[in-house]
Amino acid sequence: MPRFWQPVQNITSFQPLVTEHGRRVFHGEKTGVAACAAKPQSLHVSGLSRILAVMTGTEWWRTAVIYQIYPRSFADSNGDGIGDLRGITNRLAALRSLGIDAIWLSPFFTSPQRDAGYDVADYCDVDPLFGTLDDFDQMQRTAHDLGIRVIVDLVPNHTSSEHPWFQAALAAGPGSQERGRYLFRDGEGGNGELPPNNWESVFGGRAWTQITEADGTPGQWYLHLFDSTQPDLDWENPWVWEQFRGILRFWLDRGVDGFRVDVAHGMIKAEGLPDYTPPAESGSMGGGTATLEPGISADAQSGSDDGDATEAETAPYWAQDGVHDIFRDWRVVVDEYEGERILAAEAWVDPLGKVAKWVRPDEMHQAFNFAYLETPWKADRLRAVIDESIQAFAAVGAPPTWVLSNHDVVRHATRLALTGEHLQGHGIGLDSTGLPDPVVALRRARAATSLMLALPGSSYIYQGEELGLPEVTDLPDSARQDPTWFRTQGQRYGRDGCRVPIPWEAGAPSYGFGPTDASWLPQPPEWAKYARDVEGGAPGSTLELYKLALRLRREHALGLGLLEWVTGYGDDVLAFRNGDVTVIANVGKSPVNVPARALLLASDDFDGSTLFGDTTVWLRS
């Protein structure tokens, strides 16, 4: 496959190079210009030690802003308290006015909803909770008419235990073809009473469940990296491959624009399923702390220059090399279709050089940048991860991606100001340590978003973040639904706090989420001040900030830009130029002086010369 991105060092100018395929490739320079230390107003550009941004091609996904919809919490059309596809259709115009390019829908397939739809019982139908296939088709037509692409969430690591495949496996017995579609194993111990290995579930407790055979005797064990109702498929089985080719084509034939692939780093397990004890500081998906120290996974301890970890340092159920063969196969299927259909990987892998393997030219198009999401609000750490991200993805011809919130992590309007440590997936509640001042947290979140949306590449937005929604920390225990809460006997709060249905109209039942007061998770009274009808058109609101940032991002082609660092503002400031826009983010507490330039955007109060802490501005260069 041709490489359209080529990182280089120490070249003398920003010159376009033309490949043998005629594509223009722009490289960064190392100029050797002295850093501007005395007067930052001069906006001197620092010497660049590596390629900082290279964007080639015109495919929509290279620069897209993609909005994640968590269907059960977005909009409810029938008043049952659970969002649905018709509710999404009714609210798509609001997303068009926001200025996004695509939506990604978390699963809406047939499911017993033990894990909010990530336990799929039929990949080719809509759960009645959300509507029908006709409702999906109408939603997609409306989105396409509005110029919004549609990405669906595919869950290939596991199925629901109620899926016909698994039910057939239970009935067929040991050694059958049906059981070979999942990871059934005989137990250890004298009578098979012990699990096959010591693996722990992402949601807490052991990752194995023993079944009772048809004759009533204790039987084999099956692997479930998540809940016991989510048995893992055996991706060494060609039958599984063939089924998912059909699933891909089913949705591609209906016109979807791509797939977000759940647990894209977990589908292949190490041969022999060896025992493994993860580091104490690792989060549920292999991730580390989501606020203070990124330390994304055990792979981070590798110390190898090329990003590869040894077998002993990599969890035997994450990031095995065999997953790449699966995605090469899927890429062939996706490329059969016109219209630039895409694959996006949820891969909790570190370091970024290893994540980039998921987006090599013959594999996926995008991979979520969890290293960026997990980076603390510190200038040196942010600059390092931005540099590393652009370099790593450029090396394989892929755009960098940026994300701050999703349905699995504490919302960044809370997370970025936490002073206590917490791990991804564990969640927070009222008795968690280090809960932030909400005013400081929102100010920081607005500054962080303004920084992110100015970076070259593609960005993801999670529903409600454009309203400044914080994590809900006071959910009553009786309302919680995340399997993590139950499997850990309340030791971990789980992810319910970021999934509370979002507000649309302050004075309406369920704040406009639906036509009644019903809401599958209780909405807090402070939701009224965040409602879209309150923020819409209100000067200085978070919603209007997002609208402005997305409009300016398009107008100034920032997604296709070239990032040049600007120095001279001190250790707590990030400053860079992207095209004709200069971005300055003060992540510290002390105010700094900035040059007199035409103001394009400010995340908070700004007088034109003094930039206070936790504030980002965009200036015309």
Catalytically active residues, by annotation: 262, 336
DSSP-assigned states of every residue in 353-402: HHHGGGGSTTS-SEE--HHHHT--S-HHHHHHHHHHHHHHHHTTT---EE
**Which contiguous run of DSSP H or E holds residue 581?**
strand 581-586
Q: Across the strands, what pairs with 237?
A: none
Buried b (16+ CB within 10 A) or exposed e, 391-429: bbbbbbbbbbbbbbbbbbbbbbbbbbbbeeebbbbbbbb
619 CB-near residues (< 8 Å, 6+ apart): 581, 582, 583, 584, 594, 595, 597, 598, 599, 600
Q: How distant, in Å, are the alpha carbons of 200, 224, 408, 488 from that of 203?
A: 8, 10, 12, 7
User: What is the residue type of 341?
Assistant: R
DSSP annotation of 102 reads E
Do 462 and 405 contact (CB within 8 A), yes or no?
Answer: yes
Q: Across the strands, what pairs with 222?
A: 184, 209
Do 400 and 454 contact (CB within 8 A), yes or no?
Answer: no
453's tokens: 């949306």
Q: Across the strands, what pairs with 459?
A: 65, 402
CA distance 422 to 290: 7
Nearest to 575, CA basis, from 542, 607, 608, 621: 621
CA distance 301 to 86: 47
549 CB-near residues (< 8 Å, 6+ apart): 449, 450, 453, 454, 601, 618
CA distance 331 to 58: 19
Buried b (16+ CB within 10 A) or exposed e, 76-89: bbeeebbbbbbbbb
Phi, psi of 553 (to 5 degrees): -60, -45
328's tokens: 């090469």
CA distance 575 to 580: 13
**Alpha carbon 236 to chain centroid, angstroms:** 27
User: What is the residue type of 12?
Assistant: T
18's tokens: 């033309």
DSSP annotation of 316 reads T
**Which contiguous run of DSSP H or E holds residue 16?**
strand 16-18
Helix axes 85-98, 133-145, angle to 10 degrees: 10
User: What is the residue type of 122?
Assistant: D
Task: For residue 133, give the 3-state DSSP assignment.
Answer: helix
